[in-house]
Amino acid sequence: MPDENPARATAREAIALLTGATGFTEHRPPPHPLPPDGPLGWAGYDAARERASARTGEEESVVYGTGVVGDRACVLLSFEFGFLGGSLGRQTGDRLAAAYELALTRRLPLLALVATGGSRMQEGMVALTQLQRVAAAATRLRAAGLPQIAVVRDPTTGGGWATVGAGADVVLALPGAQVGFAGSRVRPPDADPYAYSAKGQFAAGQVDAVVPADELAATVTHWLRALGPHEDLPAAPVPRALPGAEAEPTAGTRTGVGTPSAAGAESAAGRDSAARLPETGREAVARARDPRRPRAEAYLADYFTVRLPLHGDRSGSTDPGLLCGLGLRADGQPVAYVAQCGTPTRPAGYRAAARTIRLADRLGVPVLTLVDTPGAANDAEAERAGAGAAIADTFAAIAAARVAVTTLVIGEGGSGGALALAAPDNTHVTVDSYFSVIAPELAAAILKRPPSETGATADQLRLRPQDLVDLGFARSIVG
């Protein structure tokens, strides 16, 4: 690429980075000339446009058309920052609207390569209202079940970020890109520049991945394969059982139920038969809490050949204890995944889960959820962050899903914080899992029982895998 910084490439260089030798077919909207010096009669505007055109070789700040990325056809639109800072005027809006309409008509995904400073001030409110046109066009595409991917380049600010960029289903950023609603000349003088960077936006859960230029084509190809459009995909298969813990735990292994020595003895007794079901509720909890038990990362690595993370809740937060995204299995089938990692799930995690489930539902991609949490985070910060509303929204996303949702409980099923991710009619459990209305320790405390009766309380709760099948909660025991 001629530009040494791919984040500052021209519009056509950015397209070529993705399409390579497969080529790109440019489209243009019907002519719709502006009045002299634009809709406001801004003195010198026509001359500025002529200089921009001479400098860049472009007629406007957006180039669009059809192309192939990897093996996937799509509609591409690319901003030319060298043309008046990639700003949006009325004719830019014409091109953006036409690009979305082209994707809708041909039922192709839309790939936007964004580099813009925002609305074009020389066209005033006429320029600003182009954001409404873009939002309406994106909404029509979304309603048709067609995916939108944005690659944000340097810089991506203003209304372009707030519509074409941040409004996409998946947001990828090039390293070093400046990304934010406020441009560099309109921020507070003491603003932290990190907050307006690709890395800063990733940390805040606003960008799904920061992708080096030499990996961008492969990454986008995977995303296009995963997002579709698809028709009549089968349900996500239930993951296969993974080997459990093989080594005897130390005497100090924490189980939270019974004494450490008793828990260690029970775990040791079960290590010779990975498929043996727990005999007691206490044993079920101990096995689910065993730190050597397979976790979400192991199940996802075994299940997928390619994983494409969706990062963050789009409200400024992330939860490292919950993994979301789409993946491709060995046979090429796409599956969306939401996986708890054994920690208390935070509000940001539930919001990211709901975002993932709704995206998959809109695109017709089946969903796999892996349940493993002692419960929802219940600290004061979690309450302030809207824990109840976030959990409620996740319940609603599962309930409203039209695609098949498959759930495997791989460890702890801690009350409503775990149930929010469970498919009502398609939940399966592993031999080293449990699910309970409340943790046995908390149940004993509420009932004013001594700690020595926690194990008996666990038995009363009927939380073992086989109990869950008998009660009709789980369909099968895996492994």
Average pLDDT, the chain: 92
**At 251, is the pLDDT very low, low, confident or very high (cuts 50, 70, 90)?**
very low
Query: Beta partners for 413?
Result: 373, 435
- For residue 155, is the peptide bond before it cis, meaning its omega torsion is within 30 degrees of 0? yes
What's the average model confidence in pLDDT over 144-173? 97
Task: Give the pLDDT mean for 148-172.
Answer: 97
Amino acid (one-letter) located at 461 = L
- DSSP for 177-211? -BEESS-TTSS-TT--GGGGBHHHHHHTTS-SEE-
User: 87 with 117: CB under 8 angstroms?
Assistant: yes
Distance CA 17, CA 169 (A): 21
pLDDT band at 4 (very low <50, low <70, confident <90, very high): low
Mean pLDDT of 411-435: 97
Rounded to an integer, what distance in angstroms lies between the CA atom of residue 94 and that of residue 88? Answer: 10
Give me the mean pLDDT over the 129-141 stretch: 97
Could you tell me the pTM of the whole model?
Answer: 0.91
List the structure tokens of 414.
């801690």
User: How far is residue 437's CA from residue 208's CA, in Å, rounded to a whole number?
Assistant: 34
Stretch (H or E) spanning 64? strand 62-69
User: What secondary structure does DSSP assign to 241-286, as a single string?
Assistant: P-----SPPPTT---SSS-HHHHHHHHHHHTT-TTPPPSSHHHHHH
Average pLDDT estimate for 259-279: 49
Q: Mean per-residue pLDDT for 388-408?
A: 98
- pLDDT for res 51: 97
Instruction: Report the percent of the chain where pLDDT is more than 70.
Output: 92
State which amino acid sits at residue 300. Answer: L
**Among candidate residues 84, 49, 78, 44, the one with its CA nearest the CA of residue 64:** 78
* Confidence check: pLDDT of 408 > 50: yes
| pLDDT of 327 higher than 50 | yes
Mean pLDDT of 205-232: 97
> 464: burial class by Cβ within 10 Å (0-12, 13-18, 19+)?
buried
- 326 alpha-carbon distance from chain centroid: 8
Is residue 23 very low, low, confident or very high in pLDDT (cuts 50, 70, 90)? confident
pLDDT at 261 exceeding the cut of 90: no
Per the structure block, which two tokens stand in for 308? 């494409």
The confidence score (pLDDT) of residue 7 equals 59
Q: Binning pLDDT at 50, 70 and 90, where does residue 201 land? A: very high
pLDDT at residue number 253: 33
**Nearest in space to 408 (alpha carbons), one of 234, 237, 233:** 237
Per DSSP, the residues of 387-428 read: HHHHHHHHHHHHHH--S-EEEEEEEEEEHHHHHTTS-TT-EE
Indicate whether 3 pLDDT > 60.
Answer: no
pLDDT of 104 higher than 90: yes
pLDDT at 430: 97
Q: CA–CA separation, 164 vs 314, rounded Å? A: 15
d(CA 320, CA 340): 9
CA distances from 38 to 35, 88, 116, 125, 245 (A): 5, 13, 20, 12, 71
pLDDT range class, residue 21, cuts 50, 70, 90 = confident
Total length of the chain: 479
Residue 6 pLDDT level (bands cut at 50, 70, 90)? low
Binning pLDDT at 50, 70 and 90, where does residue 245 land?
Answer: low
List Cβ neighbours of 214 (8 Å cut-off, separation of 6 or more).
none
Examine the pLDDT at 210 and tell me if it is beyond 70. Answer: yes
CB 186: neighbour CB atoms within 10 A? Answer: 12
Average pLDDT over residues 93-100: 98
Give me 285's structure tokens.
Answer: 């909890």
pLDDT at 44: 97
Of the CA atoms within 13 Å of residue 418, those in its CB half-sphere come to 27
**Which of 458, 432, 138 is CA-nearest to residue 292?**
432
